[in-house]
């Protein structure tokens, strides 16, 4: 059974059918790409999976737990981390403080401790180093460049050691060197057992990195399979050409 | 600079402790008592509103509830004037908490402007209850508290001052500790992006409510102490909307979300209020000045005094370096700017 599974997820906003019976499984240890034209429902699907958008009459399961309409904090606690298309960091907290916000998985007792002396501090520093932001740890996160913010968001999601990470356009607006760097980081984590589901418009990025690609259009899944097969699927070409 | 900090704090503390002994003048000490009470209230308020970003204009309701709690308990239990009524303060705080839990639970379902409006509405509901629940509050005729007959002259203010100072120290210690705990970090994350914080496992509901209730606890105690200090209470004065406006003004003036800022605000504004009242010889005239000040602060010093000063210092240190030229310039500019926005104060000071 898939690690993360949605069954027949539908979601409408007023007259717009953003999702229309989406059934999607993400296998443990995979690097799955989710692509599709603008407005095809990719972000909405992420929102449903992570508790940011309510649905009815369908199910979302994660590792045997039903998480349909679970709250975002519960979804996170179970081990699903995500980033946002429009990066969401805490602008007035420093980079290091941002890293500590996500480290909330240790029971309520840890609340009374100083965040800077906890066990997670070491981990936070390691991860900052991992994404190359060590130098900026005391800078308010709002001052980072666009790409740096993406890296920070990626890093603080990692603090909690999630089993699955959903990335919404990790490469959007990021320069080629940084994309390269990001690709390496994702591969490295995947080798350590982290499962990825990522939305991305940069085809080179998706085709180079993912082992499976799912294509959405008008809220439906129209194709899925290996990158090569999807690339040459006429339905996909049609969707992208807007026919 | 760093090494001097504990010394400076100790000196301030000594000054606070010795103040009424150095100035044994009842008029001055009355202002000192009010200053300490407001400083406690604003510190507690800031721990909720400053850290979480939820601006409450309704916590004065808990001040009123605390006032009435002490008055009613003294009356029902026949507590004589003297030191005994001080022992009722924690109880007054807890009674305020009992009201704050459901009120906070409801109000915190909303955000931003709606939250502000809701806290104001709740405040006026409580004030209306004080007017109308005559069997409990004696309505607009008010209530009197026991009078400590054996305290007279310059001594009268001392017990109030020291009890108030003790409350203040507890409030500041708590505020400082929260700022440095993971709990406090959660509150600051809520201020920046609540939904995102929630998605990272921060129990936003519980965090907000506990901070709201904690502030109410202190408002209850401060209200109780104030009631005993002024000896009689009336609905319109125990539930006074100006208390919340004063508290908010103090926090904004000094620096919302910092530890020392709100204290500074209280130390400036409470004596200023008393001074203007005497100067113009008309109570309430100071309100015009306050209104003008509020405007001036929002326009000229939107961050408050403490963050602005800190910005000055860091700017002076970093302007020497390259600014916005390549990577290091970014850092320098960022650090300089950090001072301006940096209400994330860690050290704190009285
Ligand atoms: N909160 C909302 N309210 C109303 N409509 C919404 C909302 N969220 C999404 N939609 C609509 O649902 C549809 C799918 O949006 P979604 O953001 O999921 O697309 P997407 O595939 O992520 O697109 P993009 O590639 O541009 O990010 C769009 O038509 C969008 O306008
Ligand atoms: Mg999207």
Residue B330 pLDDT:
35
Structural domain boundaries enclosing A120: 88-161
CB A215 within 8 A of CB A222: yes
Confidence band for B314, pLDDT divided at 50, 70 and 90: low
Instruction: Name which residue leads in pLDDT, B267 or A2.
Output: B267
Residue B169 resides in a domain: yes
- Give residue-wise pLDDT tens across range A92-102: 999 999 998 88
* Domain identity same for A212 and A116: no
Residue B53: closest CA among B202, B184, B216, B198: B184
User: Cβ contacts of residue A36 below 8 Å, gap of 6+?
Assistant: A42, A215, A216, A217, A239
What is this model's ipTM? Answer: 0.85
Residue B17 resides in a domain: no
Which residues, numbered 77 to 116 in chain B, qualify as contacts with chain A under a Cβ-Cβ cut-off of 8 Å? Answer: none
Mean pLDDT, residues B151-173: 90
For chain A, which ranges sit under pLDDT 70?
104-118, 242-243
Question: Which residue of A73, A76, A89, A97 is the best one to mutate when testing the B interface, meaning the one whose CB has the most B CBs within 10 A?
Answer: A73
Say how many domains are in chain A: 2
* CA atoms of B134 and B332, how far apart (whole Å): 63
Residue B45 resides in a domain: yes
* Domain identity same for A1 and A70: yes
- Give residue-wise pLDDT tens across range B201-219: 888 999 999 999 999 999 9
* Domain identity same for A59 and A113: no
Residue B149 resides in a domain: yes
The structure tokens listed for B217 are 């606890």
The structure tokens listed for A197 are 């589901």
Residue B16 pLDDT:
85
Residue B136 resides in a domain: yes
Q: Does B76 touch chain A (CB under 8 A)?
A: no
Any residues with Cβ below 6 Å from ligand 1, and which? A 13, 16, 18, 36, 38-44, 85
Residue A161 pLDDT:
83
Write the CATH number for A16. 3.40.50.300
* CA atoms of A11 and A14, how far apart (whole Å): 10
Under DSSP, is residue B127 helix (H, G, I), strand (E, B) or coil?
A: helix
* Domain identity same for A188 and A237: yes
- For residue A177, how far is its CA from the centre of ligand 2 (angstroms)? 23
Helix (H) or strand (E) holding A23: strand A16-26
* Domain identity same for A54 and A23: yes
The structure tokens listed for A65 are 């737990």
Angle at B107 (CA atoms; ends B106, B112), nearest 5 degrees? 145
**CB crowding A59-75: b at 16 or more within 10 Å, else e:** ebbbbeeebbebbbbeb
Total number of residues shown for chain A: 243
- For residue A185, how far is its CA from the centre of ligand 1 (angstroms)? 28
Query: Which residue, A131, A161, A191, sits at the end of a domain?
Result: A161
> B87 burial class (0-12, 13-18, 19+ CB within 10 angstroms)?
exposed
* CA atoms of B307 and B345, how far apart (whole Å): 9
Residue A110 pLDDT:
60
* Domain identity same for A127 and A179: no
- Give residue-wise pLDDT tens across range B77-121: 988 878 889 999 999 999 999 999 999 999 999 888 899 999 999
Angle at B183 (CA atoms; ends B264, B38), nearest 5 degrees? 25
Q: Per-residue pLDDT for B323 more than 70? A: no
* Domain identity same for A188 and A212: yes
Q: Look over chain B and give the mean of its residue pLDDT values, rounded to a whole number.
A: 83
Mean pLDDT, residues B282-309: 80
- Give residue-wise pLDDT tens across range B269-288: 898 888 887 777 777 777 78
* CA atoms of B301 and B294, how far apart (whole Å): 10
* For A158, nearest residue in chain B (alpha carbons): B200
Residue A116 pLDDT:
53
Say how many domains are in chain B: 1
Residue B13 resides in a domain: no
* Domain identity same for A108 and A208: no
| A/B interface, count of CB pairs below 8 Å | 113
Query: Which residue, A161, A178, A195, sits at the end of a domain?
Result: A161
Which of B192, B198, B202 is closest, CB to CB, to A91?
B192
Which chain B residues are within 8 Å of A79, Cβ to Cβ? none
Under DSSP, is residue A194 helix (H, G, I), strand (E, B) or coil?
A: coil
Q: Does B214 touch chain A (CB under 8 A)?
A: no
* Domain identity same for A179 and A240: yes
The structure tokens listed for A3 are 């690690």
Residue B16 resides in a domain: no
- How close, in Å, is residue A217 to chain B by CA atoms? 27
* CA atoms of B17 and B279, how far apart (whole Å): 28
pTM for the model stands at 0.85
Pocket test for ligand 1, best of A18, A19, A34, A45 (most atoms within 8 A of CB): A18
Q: Per-residue pLDDT for B345 more than 50? A: no
* Domain identity same for A5 and A57: yes
CB A64 within 8 A of CB A43: no
Instruction: Name which residue leads in pLDDT, B224 or A178.
Output: B224
Residue B333 pLDDT:
34
* Domain identity same for A122 and A223: no
| Atom 4 of ligand 1, nearest CA residue | A13
CB B222 within 8 A of CB B246: no
| Atom 11 of ligand 1, nearest CA residue | A18
* Domain identity same for A75 and A168: yes
- Give residue-wise pLDDT tens across range A34-69: 998 888 999 999 999 998 988 887 888 888 888 888
Structural domain boundaries enclosing B45: 27-240
Confidence band for B64, pLDDT divided at 50, 70 and 90: very high
Mean pLDDT, residues B284-295: 79
């Amino acid at each position: 059974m898939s690690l993360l599974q949605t069954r027949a997820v539908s979601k409408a906003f007023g007259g717009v059918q953003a999702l229309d019976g989406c059934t999607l499984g993400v296998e443990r240890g995979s690097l799955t790409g989710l692509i599709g034209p603008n407005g095809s429902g990719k972000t909405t699907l992420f929102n449903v999976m992570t508790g940011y958008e309510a649905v009815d009459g369908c199910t979302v399961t994660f590792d045997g737990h039903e998480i349909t309409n679970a709250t975002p904090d519960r979804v996170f606690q179970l081990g699903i981390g995500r980033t946002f298309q429009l990066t969401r960091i805490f602008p007035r907290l420093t980079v290091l403080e941002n890293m500590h916000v996500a480290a909330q998985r240790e029971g309520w007792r840890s609340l009374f401790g100083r965040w800077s002396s906890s066990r997670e501090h070491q981990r936070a520093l390691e991860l900052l180093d991992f994404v190359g932001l060590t130098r900026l740890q005391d800078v308010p996160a709002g001052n980072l460049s666009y790409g740096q913010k993406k890296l920070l968001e990626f890093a603080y999601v990692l603090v909690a050691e999630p089993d699955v990470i959903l990335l919404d356009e990790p490469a959007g607006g990021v320069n080629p060197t940084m994309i390269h760097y990001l690709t390496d980081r994702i591969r490295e984590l995947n080798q350590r057992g982290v499962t990825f589901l990522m939305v991305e418009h940069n085809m080179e990025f998706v085709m180079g990195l993912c082992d499976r690609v799912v294509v959405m259009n008008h809220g439906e899944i129209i194709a899925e399979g290996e990158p090569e097969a999807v690339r040459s699927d006429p339905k996909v070409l049609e969707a992208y050409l807007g026919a | 600079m760093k090494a001097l900090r504990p010394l400076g704090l100790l000196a301030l503390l000594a000054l606070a402790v010795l103040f009424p002994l150095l100035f044994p003048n009842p008029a001055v000490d009355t202002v000192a008592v009010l200053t300490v009470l407001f400083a406690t209230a604003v510190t507690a308020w800031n721990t909720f509103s400053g850290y979480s970003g939820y601006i409450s204009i309704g916590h004065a309701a808990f001040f009123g509830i605390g006032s009435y709690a002490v008055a009613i308990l003294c009356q029902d239990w026949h507590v004589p004037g003297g030191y005994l009524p001080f022992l009722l303060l924690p109880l007054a705080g807890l009674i305020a908490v009992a009201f704050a839990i459901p009120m906070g639970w409801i109000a915190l379902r909303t955000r931003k402007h709606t939250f502000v409006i809701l806290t104001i509405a709740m405040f006026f509901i409580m004030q209306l209850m004080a007017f109308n629940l005559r069997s409990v509050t004696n309505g607009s005729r008010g209530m009197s508290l026991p009078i400590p007959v054996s305290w007279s002259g310059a001594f009268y203010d001392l017990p109030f001052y020291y009890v108030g100072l003790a409350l203040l120290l507890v409030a500041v210690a708590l505020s400082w500790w929260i700022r440095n705990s993971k709990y406090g970090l959660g509150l600051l994350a809520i201020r920046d992006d609540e939904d995102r914080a929630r998605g990272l496992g921060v129990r936003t509901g519980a965090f907000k409510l506990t901070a709201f209730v904690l502030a109410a606890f202190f408002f209850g105690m401060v209200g109780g102490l104030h009631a005993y200090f002024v000896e009689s209470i009336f609905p319109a004065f125990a539930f006074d909307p100006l208390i919340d406006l004063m508290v908010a003004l103090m926090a904004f003036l000094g620096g919302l979300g910092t530890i020392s800022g709100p204290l500074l605000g209280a130390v400036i504004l409470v004596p200023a209020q008393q001074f203007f009242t005497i100067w113009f010889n008309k109570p309430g005239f100071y309100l015009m000045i306050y209104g003008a000040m509020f405007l001036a602060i929002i326009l000229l010093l939107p961050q408050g005094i403490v963050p602005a000063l800190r910005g000055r210092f860091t700017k002076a240190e970093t302007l020497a370096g390259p600014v916005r030229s390549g990577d290091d310039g970014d850092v320098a500019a960022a650090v300089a700017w950090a001072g301006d926005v940096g209400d994330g104060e860690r050290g704190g000071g009285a």
